[in-house]
Amino acid sequence: GAGVSQSPRYKVAKRGQDVALRCDPISGHVSLFWYQQALGQGPEFLTYFQNEAQLDKSGLPSDRFFAERPEGSVSTLKIQRTQQEDSAVYLCASSLAEALSYNSPLHFGNGTRLTVT
């Protein structure tokens, strides 16, 4: 694939529903990152993976948020019992370099816009 692919592009969930957001990174990219972007603000870190290992999940807002990357490629961000404050754009990014390479740019997908009603 040419770039990072995220699906769905838009998701509307009723409060209390569970949602799953998918990210297909660029083929061969070792590192994968999830960010949350509120309207009019910059992205906020959620979690990142190197291959299948989740190295840092300190940015996940609560235990309702869970991310996985079981085979080191596709990743899923799951939000249980969604709340209105979860409404945001969820951005996925990947990088060819190892996750701890501070000089490596991130390649982002188009994001999933989640609206919780």
Interface residues with other proteins (CB under 8 A)?
A: 3, 31, 33, 35, 40-45, 48, 50, 55-56, 58-59, 89, 91, 93, 99-111, 113
Query: Which of 66, 108 has the CB closer to other proteins?
Result: 108
Mapped onto helix, strand or coil, the DSSP state of residue 84 is helix
8 A C-beta contact, residue 86 and residue 79: yes
In angstroms, what is the minimal distance from the CB of 59 to other proteins?
7
In angstroms, what is the minimal distance from the CB of 16 to other proteins?
26
In angstroms, what is the minimal distance from the CB of 108 to other proteins?
4
Rounded-to-integer distance, Cα 60 and Cα 52, Å: 17
8 A C-beta contact, residue 31 and residue 48: yes
